[in-house]
Amino acid sequence: MSTLTLPSHISETLVSPAAYATEALFDAYRWMRANNPLGIAQPDGFDPFWVVSKHADILEVSKNNALFPSAVRPTTLTNKEAEARARAITGTPHLVKSLVQMDEPEHMKYRALTQGWFMPQNVKKREGEIRALAKHAVAEFVALPGRCDFVKDVALHYPLRVVMNILGVPQEDYPRMLRLTQELFGATDPDTQRFQAALTTEQYLQLMMAVVQDFSDYFGKISEERRKHPRDDLATLIANAEIDGAPMGPIEATGYYTIVATAGHDTTSSSTACAMWALASQPGLLDRVRGDLSLVPALIEEAIRWATPVKTFMRSAAADTTLRGRAIRQGDWLMLCYASGNRDEDVFSNPDKFDIDRSPNRQLAFGFGAHLCLGQHLARLEMRVLFEELLPRLKSVRLDGEPRYVESYFVNGLKALPIAFECA
């Protein structure tokens, strides 16, 4: 075996959705960072790919989009059969075309359409309406009988309401958006499969196409309505957007709606649940943060690092280059392991400890460079506001069962967090 090649059990862990719901993933990351921080994985059924496990290398790839583009190969981990099927269906390696799958100059043209909406000063203007949604979520929480699944009862619904409110989706359609998001991001998880048996590649792609078509049909109607009756919402902006003087195409519009409607709340849900997990499991943390709400942003930032909801993105090499002294060839595929970078011992002291005193906290969960998460300021604001409203009402909290994680090697977080609590 070449010294470049990762052991087969490490490679198989990286492509096993079930491993992402256990400590096996972090054991694999820890081994790679110590022994082969830029190795080649060769799991069965997949094209070989470089595994980028160190914080510095993830930054290096992320800040150089021209050399490491997103559009050439799948941006999410995809086996050979699924990539071939996607190319047959769409003519590209992608089933959806969103900002994530775009390179320059196209990427910035589309990103610029809504970037202003998500700038800190504009997000701040919406704090009042977001706080009203947080108060509503807290009122629902304190009305519960001292026990709940924090994911299902709070963390899934509050960020969903925030993003749907900004997007302009009617409240009666929120459950549909939640279901589609879970099917898009958690299709490999047994609890969210449309097909409750092991999915063949053919079935998986049918599932994905059905989900994408659902999004396309739904937001096509929203776009039509917003062109006739514009409002002060993001759907109106997307529906009436022009690129190079022409209306945005339907494929690109579907991709835009989809990325906002899904990533905008699912990742925040994961980090929100992680913050509550820490409060419920780390002695003294609740009392400390409740006694000094200025610590809430630090709690949030550490929860984002710890959760790292988007576990991986893929890039490819546009030309021969070197990284960490190793020769990367044009066309090579690379996996950016954000959750590994966020546990890098060279950047974070005692990285496997949840520690709100990290300063600076150079977490990579939002990505870096041109593809830095558009909604990062909104995510931080909505989480901060929720815990500012919740913590003064929370007298005590503890785990009341085993936390469980989504089985997915793309977007992954807690799917169950049973807690017992007392309200002040």
Q: Is residue 173 part of a domain?
A: yes
What is the C-alpha separation between 255 and 251, in angstroms, rounded? 6
pLDDT of residue 1: 47
Q: Are 203 and 195 in contact (CB under 8 A)?
A: yes
Stretch (H or E) spanning 313? strand 312-316
What is the C-alpha separation between 166 and 259, in angstroms, rounded? 14
Q: Is residue 132 part of a domain?
A: yes
Q: How many CA atoms lie within 13 A of 341 on its CB side?
A: 31
Q: Is residue 2 part of a domain?
A: no
**Counting every residue, how long is the chain?**
424
Q: Percent helix, strand, coil in the chain (nearest 5)?
A: 55, 10, 35
String of b and e for 305-323 (b: at least 16 CB within 10 Å)?
bbbbbbbbbbbbbbeebeb
Q: Is residue 3 part of a domain?
A: no
Beta-strand runs (E) in 10-91: 38-41, 49-52
**pTM score:** 0.92
Q: Is residue 415 part of a domain?
A: yes
Q: Is residue 335 part of a domain?
A: yes
pLDDT of residue 198: 53
Q: Is residue 414 part of a domain?
A: yes
Host domain of residue 361: 8-423
Chain center to CA of 51:
19
Q: Is residue 218 part of a domain?
A: yes
260 CB contacts (<8 Å, ≥6 apart)? 114, 163, 167, 234, 238, 375
Beta-strand runs (E) in 43-87: 49-52
Tell how strand 333-337 and strand 49-52 pair up: parallel
CATH code, domain with 81: 1.10.630.10
pLDDT of residue 213: 82
Other residues' Cβ atoms within 10 Å of the Cβ of residue 127: 14
What is the C-alpha separation between 392 and 424, in angstroms, rounded? 7
pLDDT of residue 191: 58
CA-based angle 404:410:411, to the nearest 5? 55
Structure tokens belonging to residue 184: 């898009």
Number of domains in the chain: 1
Nearest to 199 by CA among 120, 82, 310, 96: 82
What is the C-alpha separation between 276 and 387, in angstroms, rounded? 9
pLDDT digit of tens for each residue in the chain (424 aa)? Answer: 468 999 999 999 999 999 999 999 999 999 999 999 999 999 999 999 999 999 999 999 999 999 999 999 999 999 898 888 888 878 888 878 888 999 999 999 999 998 988 999 999 999 999 999 999 999 999 999 999 999 999 998 999 899 888 888 888 988 888 777 777 665 555 555 444 445 566 676 677 777 778 888 888 888 899 999 999 888 999 999 999 999 998 888 888 888 887 777 778 999 999 999 999 999 999 999 999 999 999 999 999 999 999 999 999 999 999 999 999 999 999 999 999 999 999 999 999 999 999 999 999 999 999 999 999 999 999 999 999 999 999 999 999 999 999 998 888 999 999 999 999 8
Amino acid at 40: I
pLDDT of residue 265: 73
Q: Are 147 and 418 in contact (CB under 8 A)?
A: yes
What is the C-alpha separation between 144 and 149, in angstroms, rounded? 10
Q: Are 323 and 57 in contact (CB under 8 A)?
A: yes
Burial zone of 162 (CB within 10 Å; 0-12 exposed, 13-18 middle, 19+ buried): buried
